[in-house]
Chain A
Amino acid sequence: MENTIKNKNGMGVEKLYKVFIYVALITLCISIFVPVAWVFLASIKENSEFYGNPWALPAGFYYQNFVAAFEKAKMGEYLLNSVITTAVAIAILLVVALPAAYVLARCDFKGNRFFNTMFMAGLFINVNYIVVPIFLMLVDGDKFLREFFGSSFFLNNIFILALIYASTALPFTIYLLSGYFKTLPKDYEEAAYVDGCGYFKTMVKVIMPMARPSVITVILFNFLSFWNEYIIALTLMTEDSGKTLPVGLMNLMTAQNAAAQYGQMYAGLVIVMLPTLILYIAVQKKLTQGMCMGGLKG
């Protein structure tokens, strides 16, 4: 390589280099595109087709795989759970994180530094490190409730799951939002106060609308991470009725090895990844821009 660059006289070398670059790019491109496309094709194959050449195109459109995934494998139920959990978690997150980020970024008060540092430290706590203590805490809570009220509440409750998703996303979200709030000039609030706006009204009516771009970034990132999350859901949803899509997919993966129901599993796979793919294609520019704005995710 070193030689080819030093050797500047030939156009041939330049051409070779271009060819090399394109080969590298296209190889990576194929290695990403082909497996994903293959899953889509596999999802409409009949079970018998899986014993032949894996590269063969599907013989027909065997949509029954999707019917089986929705009904027999309960992916429809899990889909609903996933939608509710993700939506509720994002709603809670925004309601809780926006005011907190605003106050932390723009109000001077005693303890501001302390709370800022606390949430920053939270960036380093990974959810998967603490999933077992959270589980035990909920078990204890349920035990307590059962003793006094005769019913449990915390485990297998998708709203609690959503609450935990929202809480564990707080540090990153507050970091991102308050970073944005800090860039806004102080004049807006002063003008609002002069006009007789209260603190609360100023925040909701004046500042929040300006934060729209970073709120969209927050929603995008957290949608992806909540929708795709599976360790917490796997741990806290011990009963079948509360499972989310990724957990249901894991069940399907174990089941397909035992019962050889490949089509059903690939249909399940498509059900899980289609929403994220559609969202990505719709907003890919915002997503990659937002990534650079928000810096890193944990």
Chain B
Amino acid sequence: MTRNKGKGRFIALCLSPAVILFIIFMILPTINVFRMSLYKWGGYSNNKKFVGLDNFLILFKDQKFLQSFQNTILLIVIATVFTMTFALLFAAILSREKIVGQNFFRIIFYIPNILSVVVIAAIFSAIYDPSRGLLNSLLSIFKGSNAEPTLWLGDQKIVIFSIAGAMIWQAIGYYMVMYMASMASIPESLYESASLEGAGRIRQFFDITLPLIWTNIRTTLTFFIISSINLSFLFVKAMTSGGPDGSTEVFLSYMYKQAYTNSSYGYGMAIGVVIFVFSFALSAIVNHITKREPLEF
């Protein structure tokens, strides 16, 4: 019996620090996001006024918020489509073909993933710089040196694509390595018999590779979309901080601006609630759309 008592104490001792930290720094703040969204609360003063759902009503008429909504969705779509396509393509090439220096390519492609977003933002600022930037000076070879420089981060129409470029650059390698791992588990015999039947590389890719790693693609897709909401904020904060004139403002950067910079905590947290709901809804939708019968090999 003493053994059981000791066991209970041991379990409590092992588990409680983790549970306490988790509750203080993750559960409570999350609850607070939802609670505070119901208050009108600005500044460091304790003037909290319960206003119910008023914050949300203002929110859906707020042009800036709607724009940040639009920007977020645009960034998610562009980043997802390009990252996934390139990652799958390069993974297929590197794992299916006999490539000289395969390992070397894998090592280089993964590098952006280990760099801080601030570092990547600084690198891309150097690339995008209008007068001294790498990209414009490359383009001027084709356009002639007298051509108007493109303002990659200053033109409202272009800037969101410039940010998407940085996001894609950062993510390709990570997902490529992921897909390479799951492609490696597809038995070689399938490809052999397929090529005996006369199926070319492209057929093989769509009929063998894609269906067999579909479960993996599905999970990575959901995670990628969710982390895009987050990453778009990190990039925007470091590269443009929402500018010029709100044209790169995304969900989280607008929330941060309202809550932290502007000190309207209640309003900011209402945006936070929308982000929570949006990300859950989005992952549920993606999960539903991509549902297929799992294939075994």
Name, among B11, B126, B181, B234, the residue most crowded by chain A CB atoms within 10 Å (CB to CB): B11
Q: Contact at B11–A246, with CB atoms within 8 Å?
A: no
Q: With an 8 A cutoff between CB atoms, is B122 at the interface?
A: yes
In the complex the two chains form, is A288's CB within 8 Å of B10's CB?
A: no
**Per-residue 0/1 for B69-106: is the Cβ within 8 Å of any A Cβ (1 yes, 0 no)?**
00000000000000000100110011001010000011
Q: Is the CB of A129 within 8 A of B276?
A: yes
* Distance of A94 Cα from B10 Cα, bound (Å): 17
Interface assignment of A81: CB less than 8 Å from any CB of chain B: no
Bound complex: CA A97 to CA B132 (Å): 48
B247 within 8 A of A: no
A136 CB contact (under 8 Å) in B8, B116, B265: B265
A32 touches B200 (CB 8 A): no
Which of B17, B29, B106 has a CB less than 8 Å from the CB of A130?
Answer: B29
Which residues of A have CB within 8 Å of B229? 126
28 A-B pairs with CB atoms under 8 Å apart are: A5-B203, A25-B90, A36-B115, A55-B137, A95-B17, A96-B18, A100-B17, A103-B10, A124-B226, A126-B229, A130-B272, A132-B265, A133-B28, A133-B29, A133-B30, A163-B25, A167-B26, A203-B14, A228-B115, A229-B116, A253-B238, A273-B115, A276-B116, A284-B107, A284-B110, A288-B181, A295-B219, A298-B227
Q: Which of B11, B86, B123 contacts A109 (CB 8 A)?
A: B11
Inter-chain contacts of A130 with B (CB < 8 A): 26, 29-30, 32-33, 272
B220 touches A29 (CB 8 A): no
Partner of B181, one of A39, A284, A292: A292
Instruction: Flag if A54 contacts B132 (CB, 8 Å).
Output: yes
A263 located at the interface, meaning its Cβ lies under 8 Å from any Cβ of chain B in the complex: no
* Cross-chain contact B260 with A235 (CB below 8 angstroms): yes
User: How far does the alpha carbon of A25 sit from the alpha carbon of B89 in the complex, in Å?
Assistant: 10
Q: Say yes or no for A250: interface residue by CB 8 A criterion.
A: yes
Would A21 and B99 count as touching, CB distance under 8 A? yes
Asked if B127 contacts A35 (CB within 8 A), the reply is: yes
Whole-angstrom CA separation of A164 from B259 in the bound complex: 20
| Partner-binding segment picked from A59-67, A69-77, A114-122 | A114-122
CB of B44 within 8 Å of the partner chain: yes
| CB pair A5 B260 closer than 8 Å | no
Residues 254-298 (chain A) with a chain B CB within 8 angstroms: 265-266, 269, 272-273, 276-277, 279-280, 284, 287-288, 291-292, 295-296, 298
**A174 interface contact, C-beta 8 A:** yes
Residues of B within 8 A of A18 (CB): 97
Secondary structure type dominating chain A contacts: helix
For B252, what are the chain A residues with a Cβ–Cβ distance below 8 Å? 128-129
Q: Are B6 and A198 in contact (CB-based, < 8 A)?
A: yes
Q: Which residues of B contact A148 (CB under 8 A)?
A: none
Is B134's CB within 8 Å of the partner chain A?
Answer: yes
Give the nearest-CB partner of A5 in chain B. Answer: B200
Cβ of A42 and Cβ of B126 under 8 Å apart? yes
Interface size on A, residues (CB 8 A): 95
Q: Is B111 an interface residue (CB 8 A)?
A: yes
**Interface flag for B114 (CB, 8 Å):** yes
Cβ 8 A contact of A296, one of B29, B36, B172, B223? B223
What separation, in Å, do the CA atoms of A61 and B188 have in the docked complex? Answer: 52
For B97, the closest partner residue in chain A by CB is A21
Check if A288 sits within 8 Å of B106, measured CB to CB: yes
Query: Does the CB pair A174–B18 fall under 8 Å?
Result: yes
Docked pose: A163 CA to B22 CA in angstroms: 11
Of A38, A164, A280, the residue contacting B114 (CB under 8 A) is A280
- Across-interface contacts of B7 in A (CB, < 8 A): 107, 109, 199
**What residues on A are CB-neighbors of B36 within 8 Å?**
133
Q: Is the CB of A137 within 8 A of B28?
A: yes
Check if A132 sits within 8 Å of B268, measured CB to CB. Answer: yes
Chain A residue at minimum C-beta to C-beta distance from B104: A29
A149 within 8 Å of B by Cβ?
Answer: no
* Complex contact A230–B116 (CB within 8 A): yes
Tell me the nearest residue of chain B to A247, going by C-beta. Answer: B118
Given known A-B contacts A103-B11, A103-B14, A122-B22, A54 and B133 have beta carbons under 8 A apart: yes
